[in-house]
Chain A
Amino acid sequence: MDKIPILKLGEFLLVTVQVDMHDRLAMTLQDDLTERIVASHARGVLIDISALDIVDSFIGRMLANIAAMSAILDAQTVVVGMRPAVAITLVELGLSLPGVRTALNVEKGMELLRARMREVEPGQTAEGQAAYGEGRVQQADGVE
């Protein structure tokens, strides 16, 4: 069965959707990504959809699901590269993609993720503490 590759770039994961996704492939990507976020301790996910010539309600829902699930797993999702015709059509379709952050391209998306991480973690990082054997007393969920 075919799969969409997930690349690791430092603490981010990059997914470049290069095929016209059928629904099962989209579901597989959703499952694979959540597993990879946990396995790789990724803090951010970039989904490049610049090769997609449509986003219908199913693919839109997949993007929203990925954003929601990664947020629960303490990773930010940014969808990048949406074509203008796709954006116009999505709005008319009635899909506003709540909770999905977007950026113009991979570079801008990466900047957005880095900026978000600086906001979330001022000073010492959770990983730094864990590395000193302090255990996992402090969860990152108390940040306002």
Chain B
Amino acid sequence: MAWSETLPLRSSEDVVTVRQRVRMAADREGFRLVDQTKIVTAASEIARNTVIYGGGGSATIEGVEKNGRRGVRITFEDNGPGIADIELAMKDGWTSGAGLGLGLSGAKRLSNEFEIVSAPGKGTRVTLTRWR
């Protein structure tokens, strides 16, 4: 069944809630433990970016299906300052803040599909999908 839920992302406690809800979604879709851990970790990285760099926003978690395969998709949206150079932001070790610079690149590695749409002043939307 198709389902989705949208959660606010304003604080570090909200990041924990998103992690827990993604875990439940992955479990419901029948993900193995390692795959659950990967999508939850990826979601945690992007959720934190939404709070810290995006100034808060939301996460929409949904169950998806493609060619008979079930998966979990999470869409993170914020109305923050946006990213001027996405290619640079995606590089391992590059950070505009005090982080390790592994958030975006690491989350991409932990997802099967990864999309980022952003422009200065236009906010950021990151979509992660992992298939069972």
Interface residues of A (CB under 8 A from B): 20-25, 53-58, 60-61, 83-86, 88-89, 92-95
- A-facing mask of B91-132, CB < 8 A → 1, else 0? 010000001101101100110000000000000000000000
Rank and list the top 4 A-B pairs by shortest CB-CB distance, nearest first: A93-B106, A23-B12, A22-B12, A85-B37
Bound CA span A130–B71, Å: 62
> CB within 8 Å of A: which of B18-56?
19-20, 23, 33-34, 36-38, 40-41, 44-45, 48
- A61: B residues at CB distance < 8 A: 99-100
Bound CA span A69–B44, Å: 25
Contact call B19/A85, Cβ cutoff below 8 A:
no
Contact call B102/A95, Cβ cutoff below 8 A:
yes
Bound CA span A24–B13, Å: 9
Check if B15 is an interface residue, CB within 8 A of chain A. Answer: yes
Check if B88 is an interface residue, CB within 8 A of chain A. Answer: no
**How many residues of chain B are within 8 Å of chain A by beta carbon?**
27
Bound CA span A93–B11, Å: 23
Check if B16 is an interface residue, CB within 8 A of chain A. Answer: yes
Closest to B34 in A: A85
Closest to A61 in B: B100
Closest to A86 in B: B37
Most buried by A among B41, B92, B100, B103: B41
- B23: A residues at CB distance < 8 A: 53
**Which residue of the partner chain, among B11, B48, B105, B110, contacts A58 with CB atoms under 8 Å?**
B48
- A-facing mask of B48-74, CB < 8 A → 1, else 0? 100000000000000000000000000
Contact call A94/B102, Cβ cutoff below 8 A:
yes
- B109: A residues at CB distance < 8 A: 92-94
A-B contact number at CB 8 A = 72
Contact call B37/A95, Cβ cutoff below 8 A:
no
Contact call A57/B33, Cβ cutoff below 8 A:
no
Q: Known: A22-B13, A23-B48, A94-B102. Contact between A54 and B19, CB under 8 A? A: yes
- A60: B residues at CB distance < 8 A: 100
Bound CA span A86–B48, Å: 18
Closest to A56 in B: B44
* Distance between A6 CB and nearest chain B CB, rounded to angstroms: 21
* Distance between B106 CB and nearest chain A CB, rounded to angstroms: 4
Contact call B103/A94, Cβ cutoff below 8 A:
no
Contact call A94/B106, Cβ cutoff below 8 A:
yes
- A55: B residues at CB distance < 8 A: 41
* Distance between A46 CB and nearest chain B CB, rounded to angstroms: 23
Contact call B15/A95, Cβ cutoff below 8 A:
no
